[in-house]
Amino acid sequence: MPMWVKTSLVVALGLALAGPALHAQEKEVPPPVPEDSWKYASPGPAKSVEIGNYYLRRKKLKAALSRFQEAVKTNPHYAPAYLGLGKVYEKMGLKRKALEAYQHYLDELPSTRDAEEAKGAQEAVARLQRQVKPANHPATSKYPPAKPGALSCEPLKAARRGR
């Protein structure tokens, strides 16, 4: 008998014996996974802020807002999350919330030097303080109103003098 015939017979015999076993494996269905066993794992505040900034650049404000809120929820002391919240709220026209977020950003910075270097946030605070009517709101009473054209660093200077 030629070699190719022997090889064909061996292959056919192997398939015939393995066939039922393969079909039995196909019929097994894994048990369903309960819905409550799957939970969302946050990527962490830094990654959430990075994704939020991506959405902000693409003008997807709701998506950016949810990512910055997720970062604050994950770590309430992560300053860049509050900076992003301030930017989003300002673009959405929610000036009072933007002012609160920017002020919280300045409060959460690790050092007074970092806060002094955060000129963009300080300018936004000054601009929003002029635009938002002071109506006995805790965000506007915490800091003195900024003079037009000047950056207000009084709380930072007082904290530095107290050292």
DSSP state at residue 145: P
Q: Which amino acid is at 80?
A: P
pLDDT at 7: 73
Q: Which CATH number applies to 45-152: 2.60.120.380, 1.25.40.10, 1.20.900.10, 3.40.50.1000?
A: 1.25.40.10
Best-predicted range by mean pLDDT among 6-15, 58-67, 124-133? 58-67
Residue type, 150: A
Rounded Cα gap, residues 24 and 79, in angstroms? 57
Q: Are 98 and 89 in contact (CB under 8 A)?
A: yes
User: Quick one: tokens of 157?
Assistant: 């200077």
Chain segment 81-117, per-residue pLDDT in tens: 999 999 999 999 999 999 999 999 998 887 777 777 7
Measured between its terminal Cα atoms, the distance across the chain in Å is 99
Distance CA 128, CA 95 (A): 6
| 156, two tokens | 């930072």
Distance, in Å, from the CA atom of 100 to the CA atom of 64, rounded to the nearest integer, reads 17
Longest dimension (CA), the chain: 103
Its pTM stands at 0.58
